[in-house]
């Protein structure tokens, strides 16, 4: 995917839940290869593959033991090569996940550090305890647990910004940067077109390691995460992004070269757009998406605020669902096909890049899993009020047969999708959510919505109004999140979403 491709539409594939070709109950790379036609037909520009690297899967694959090897459960390097070749033959770019903040605790370097290898230990963040044996400071992990775990063999604490099985790397350390550079070069040599960089705002920390202060009410309202997570009670001024943090994006750009499209995950709700802007300065990343939409996508003011704050510099891609959050049709909508179409139309007209998640094109609602069926540690930590990550990862229904056509074995998460939601059921139905996605994504490209001349947004009550100048035409979008207004009929109606649901919309050319 050439970097000249501006503001692409990206489709995220979570391989473990896409399609299984071996009967293990877990999706694999061959399942991705065999079903890329479905993605191509949506009209997207590229696929983003969530991690398929060697991992104990303690955090859904984001705990990596080898960044340059394929976990056997997903396939082989030959499958990676075949996937890239197949995607390119369909005109699709391929984006891989880079998880540079941490490794798995089963990574050879971390195991060596525990065994006393000081060179290996220097790759991570080890600190002595305070004189009373407690942790070096008050920092909390993103999931709300203490960010320090004691290791009795080293008689030290190690730092982890996520789970204790994900020890943080010292990204200022030369050998760590050398390893990461080799990882980028390895995948670039195999033909990958870009990278999605996990948790970029967690990469670096203040070496003073001072205690974080309490969050003021204003800061607490913006820190990403639910209020019951104590992480939101701190102002993260020392454990995230000192002055050289965003500049690390230039280092990654140097490694990848000028032609790769690189997007970062900005997991800081505080000053989110400002941080994304810093990460996307000339010579850094192409885009950086904040978590704000995954949390506030049901509020029309969220969209208007982001449009105003970006002010024509569309550096923060739009998204509503991914592997880390509850599916938006339920989280921000009412679970209906009408709500799915409403959000699809809204996303399709927004300026800049767009990131979709597998299954949203089917209008999949968020499934409810029992505690016994849940595997995700974040969901279990706050059960039943967790983020719903496992629900988002329930495998895709390809047909209405056994296991939804996903696997001949027992799916790794239980599938209980209602009949009629599968790809096969929706494929030839012109009124289906799938057909609607194909229609509005085609319109998105034809009308030039990703790169408009101007966009303005106005909110009144629960109604968002957009005025767009793009492709030599004037467009008006009215999106009613629940006020049940009479939709205006000015101009030529191009797309309309109406029905019994409280979510209604109309896009007109005026």
Residue tagged active-site, from 12, 26, 58, 198: 198
Q: What is the pLDDT of residue 164?
A: 97
Q: Are residues 438 and 459 in the same domain?
A: no
**Which domain-ending residue is among 402, 419, 444?**
444
Q: What is the pLDDT of residue 276?
A: 92
Residue tagged active-site, from 58, 63, 265, 286: 265
Q: Are residues 406 and 463 in the same domain?
A: no
Instruction: Tell me if 157 is assigned to some domain.
Output: no
Q: Does the CA dihedral 364-48-43-401 come out positive or negative? A: negative
Q: Are residues 217 and 325 in the same domain?
A: yes
- Report the predicted TM-score, pTM, of the whole model to 2 decimal places: 0.96
Q: Are residues 255 and 380 in the same domain?
A: yes
Q: What is the pLDDT of residue 2?
A: 41
265 has catalytic annotation? yes
Domain, as residue range, for 257? 9-104+171-444
H or E stretch at 439: helix 433-447
Instruction: Tell me if 153 is assigned to some domain.
Output: no
In whole angstroms, give the CA distance from residue 484 to residue 463. Answer: 9
What letter does residue 360 receive in the DSSP assignment? G
Residues paired with residue 474 on neighbouring β-strands, in sequence order: 469
In whole angstroms, give the CA distance from residue 172 to residue 101. Answer: 11
In whole angstroms, give the CA distance from residue 55 to residue 63. Answer: 6
Instruction: Tell me if 250 is assigned to some domain.
Output: yes
Q: How many domains does the chain have?
A: 2
Q: Are residues 475 and 438 in the same domain?
A: no
Instruction: Tell me if 498 is assigned to some domain.
Output: yes
Tens-digit pLDDT profile for residues 370-394: 999 999 999 999 999 989 999 999 9
Tens-digit pLDDT profile for residues 479-495: 999 999 999 888 999 99
What letter does residue 231 receive in the DSSP assignment? G
Q: Are residues 355 and 461 in the same domain?
A: no
Instruction: Tell me if 150 is assigned to some domain.
Output: no
Q: Are residues 413 and 490 in the same domain?
A: no
Q: Are residues 393 and 471 in the same domain?
A: no
Q: Are residues 421 and 499 in the same domain?
A: no
Tens-digit pLDDT profile for residues 272-304: 888 899 999 999 999 999 988 888 999 999 999
Q: What is the pLDDT of residue 270?
A: 63
Q: Does the CA dihedral 20-25-28-30 come out positive or negative? A: negative
CATH number of the domain within which 73 lies: 3.20.20.80
Residue 68, burial from CB neighbour count under 10 angstroms (0-12, 13-18, 19+): middle
**Which domain-ending residue is among 444, 476, 497?**
444
334 has catalytic annotation? no
CATH number of the domain within which 467 lies: 2.60.40
Q: Are residues 461 and 439 in the same domain?
A: no
Q: What is the pLDDT of residue 124?
A: 98
Residue 418, burial from CB neighbour count under 10 angstroms (0-12, 13-18, 19+): exposed
> Which ranges of the chain have pLDDT less than 70?
1-5, 222-224, 242-243, 269-270
Instruction: Tell me if 423 is assigned to some domain.
Output: yes
In whole angstroms, give the CA distance from residue 267 to residue 234. Answer: 15
Q: Are residues 440 and 462 in the same domain?
A: no
Q: What is the pLDDT of residue 243?
A: 65
Q: Are residues 327 and 260 in the same domain?
A: yes
**Which domain-ending residue is among 444, 461, 481?**
444
Q: What is the pLDDT of residue 228?
A: 87
Instruction: Tell me if 132 is assigned to some domain.
Output: no
Instruction: Tell me if 500 is assigned to some domain.
Output: yes
């Amino acid at each position: 995917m050439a970097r000249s491709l501006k503001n692409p539409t990206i489709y995220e594939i979570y391989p473990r839940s896409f399609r299984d070709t071996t009967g293990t109950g877990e999706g694999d790379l061959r399942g991705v290869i065999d079903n890329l036609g479905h993605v191509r037909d949506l009209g997207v520009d590229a696929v983003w593959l969530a991690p398929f690297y060697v991992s104990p899967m303690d955090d859904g694959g984001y705990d990596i033991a080898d960044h340059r090897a394929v976990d056997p459960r997903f396939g082989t390097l030959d499958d990676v090569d075949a996937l890239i070749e197949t995607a390119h033959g369909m005109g699709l770019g391929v984006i891989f996940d880079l998880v540079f903040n941490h490794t798995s605790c089963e990574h050879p370097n971390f195991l060596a550090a525990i065994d006393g290898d000081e060179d290996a230990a220097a790759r991570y963040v080890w600190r002595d305890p305070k004189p009373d044996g407690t942790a070096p400071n008050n920092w909390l992990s993103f999931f709300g647990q203490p960010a320090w775990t004691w290791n009795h063999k080293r008689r030290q604490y190690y730092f982890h910004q996520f789970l204790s099985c994900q020890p943080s790397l010292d990204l200022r350390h030369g050998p760590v940067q050398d390893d990461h550079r080799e990882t980028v070069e390895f995948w670039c040599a195999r033909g990958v077109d870009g990278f999605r960089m996990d948790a970029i705002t967690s990469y670096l920390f203040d070496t003073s390691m001072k205690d974080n202060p309490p969050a003021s009410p204003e800061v607490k309202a913006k820190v990403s995460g639910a209020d019951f997570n104590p992480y939101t009670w701190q102002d993260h001024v020392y454990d995230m992004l000192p002055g050289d943090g965003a500049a690390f994006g230039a280092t990654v750009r140097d490694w990848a070269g000028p032609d790769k499209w690189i997007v970062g995950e900005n997991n800081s709700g505080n000053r989110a757009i400002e941080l994304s802007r810093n990460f996307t300065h000339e010579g850094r990343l192409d885009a950086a998406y904040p978590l704000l939409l995954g949390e506030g996508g049901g509020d029309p003011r969220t969209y208007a605020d982001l449009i105003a704050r970006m002010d024509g510099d569309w550096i923060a891609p739009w998204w509503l669902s991914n592997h880390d959050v509850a599916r938006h049709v339920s989280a921000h909508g009412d679970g209906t096909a009408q709500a799915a179409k409403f959000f699809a139309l809204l996303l399709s007209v927004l300026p800049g890049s767009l990131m979709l998640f597998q299954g949203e094109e089917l209008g999949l609602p968020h499934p409810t899993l029992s505690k016994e069926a849940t595997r995700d540690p974040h969901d279990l930590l706050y059960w039943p009020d967790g983020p719903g990550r496992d629900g988002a990862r329930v495998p895709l229904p390809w047909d209405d047969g056994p296991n939804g056509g996903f696997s001949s074995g027992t799916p790794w998460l239980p599938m209980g999708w209602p009949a009629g939601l599968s790809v096969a059921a929706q494929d030839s139905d012109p009124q289906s959510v799938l057909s609607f996605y194909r229609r509005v994504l085609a319109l998105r490209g034809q009308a030039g919505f990703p790169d408009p001349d101007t966009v303005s947004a106005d909110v009144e009550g629960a109604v968002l109004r957009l005025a767009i100048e793009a492709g030599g035409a004037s467009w008006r979008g009215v999106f009613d999140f629940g006020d049940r207004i009479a939709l205006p009929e000015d101009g030529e109606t191009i797309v309309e979403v109406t029905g019994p649901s409280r979510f209604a919309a109309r896009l007109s050319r005026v």
